[in-house]
Structures are given as structure tokens and as C-alpha cells.
A and B are shown apart, each in its own frame.
Chain A
Amino acid sequence: MSISKEQVAKIATLSRLSLEEDKLDQFTGQLSSILQYMEKLNELETTDVEPLYSPVEQTTVLREDVVEKKFKREELLANAPEDDGQYFIVPRII
């Protein structure tokens, strides 16, 4: 299946990416040929095949849900692009 430039622009927005005009053209071509290649899977009849989403099919081992205090606030804010010592700061929302 080929994909249109408008579709690519829409996917970019859904992905929270903005693409320059020339990139949009380039990606349209590339994404189309990749998706076309993926069509190959339609050659296979899979109606009765259960999807395999993870190689671990047995029940995963869960730990007790216990709250632990492992890090100081400063440590967790240390990588923030902007903070006020208490919170992460973002541009105005409303």
C-alpha cells in the first residue's frame, strides 16, 4: 500500500513530530516502500493463529506493591529541563 503525503503529515502530528517540507516528501517515498514490503505478510493465512505478543507466555512474576522511598526529590529533578525545586515546569497550558 502506498501512503500519501497528507497521511504522512498526519502520522507525524500523531507522533508529535514536525517535518520540513522536503523531509515530508522523502519520508512519503520511504514509508511507502517499507509498507509495501510489509504487505508480504498478507500472503499467509493466519485466521486461526493466536497472536504472540511476548516470548514470555507464562505468568510473569510480580513483586509486592510496596512503596519505597529510594530517591531524593533533587535527584529526580536533576535532569529536568526546567524546575522550581519542587515541580517540573512546562510552558503555559491554559
Chain B
Amino acid sequence: MPSPLAIETRDLTRSFQRRLAVDRINLAVPAGSIYGFLGPNGAGKTTTIRLLLGLLTATSGEIRVRGESFTRERRDLLRGVGALVEGPSIYPNLTGRENLEITRKLIGAPASSIEDVLTQFELAGYADSRASTYSTGMRQSLALANAWLGKPSLLLLDEPANGLDPAATRKLRAILRRTTDQGATVFVSSHALTEIDQLADAIGIIHHGRLIYQGELTALKQTRDGSLEDIFLAMLEANGSPS
């Protein structure tokens, strides 16, 4: 039976020298959902994503993806994962198409997948221009197109709407929703609380490396007054941070 959780961590911990960046967090990301991962700067969001992708090794704890141990099955599990970590990673000397071709070669996706994502992210008209000539928003779109290559069943996105204009942000929202409708899971780390408010099915809030809240967004909003921003800031304040 497939696991109801796309991602599950048990006491996941990572320290840098003596500083605990991620402190025994237990994530439970439901399969087929959009999970918003929130936290102030330096809370440990990006470190968590890097741990989930195996870019960093955990000091202790366990990660399970679709019920399988990530440490043991890393390469196989990454076959179904698309990621955007710490901003767009683009080779500026290459064209948009060539940038995608690098990923396509490494994941063994069909050649047609490049055209699909170029169309999906409205980059087809710029595919043969060098990425160094792209605007910030186009670079972000190219990085997102790169994450969508190979039709991943799990997407880990760090601030995906950064640099996108309102129209592109709305388009991204629609793509994210369509992706989960097709059965994929999206894990989004973001500062943009209104985006998360409109998108997420479940959220986790990380602060000083600790997961201070996790659950369904609708359930959270039923139990507390105010917008997601009000709730988020109140939680940070209650956990030792000025609002």
C-alpha cells in the first residue's frame, strides 16, 4: 500500500559546528498536497530542503520519501523529484534550451519534455537566446521549467515565486494546482504568506530550527483569528521572536 505521506522525517537534525540549524523536526507531508513551509530568515527552511534532497547529510534523524528510506534509496527516489533550491541555477553562457538539455541528459527524460516545459512556462519564444540575456523572472521560470522536466511526482521548491511578475505568479499557482491534481506533491518554502494562504493545503512553520506548527491550513484558520500573516507572526512571538 502506498504511503499516505510523500515526505516524513523523524527527529531530523543538522548542526554546523555547534549551531543547530535544524533541530529534531518531524515533517509529515501528505501525498498529493501543497505543503507550505514557512519561517523567518535563517529559520532553517533552506537547510531542511537541502537535507531532503540529500545535498547535506543529516547529523541525526531519518528521512522517508513515499515510505522509503531516503538515505538508502536516494538515487532511485530522486528520479521522481524536481527541485528549485536557493534561487535559479542557470548556466548563463547557455541558451534556455541548452540549460534544460543538461538536466534532460542527466535524468534521461525524452527530448519532447523540453518543448513541453518551455511551452508550460512560456519560454518557447526565448528558448534559443542565451540565459544571460534573461530577466530575473525569466530565469526563475527557466529554473521552474527545469524542476518540472521529467514530470516529477514530488516538487521541492524554495521561494518559487521570487522575481515573478503578478501574471507569472498567477500562472505558477495554476501550474502548481494542476500538478497536485495530477497526483504530485508540492513542498513550497516561502516568505510570501499570501501565496501560501491561497495555495497550501497544509503548512509547517519552522523557527530557530524547530518545527513549531504543522497541520492543515483550514484547521489552523478555524482555530485562530486573523490572516495567515497575523497567525504566523503571533506564533513566532510566542516562540521567542519579536513580531
Q: Are A and B genuine complex partners?
A: no
Chain A residues with a Cβ under 8 A of chain B: none
**What is B's interface to A at a CB cutoff of 8 Å?**
none
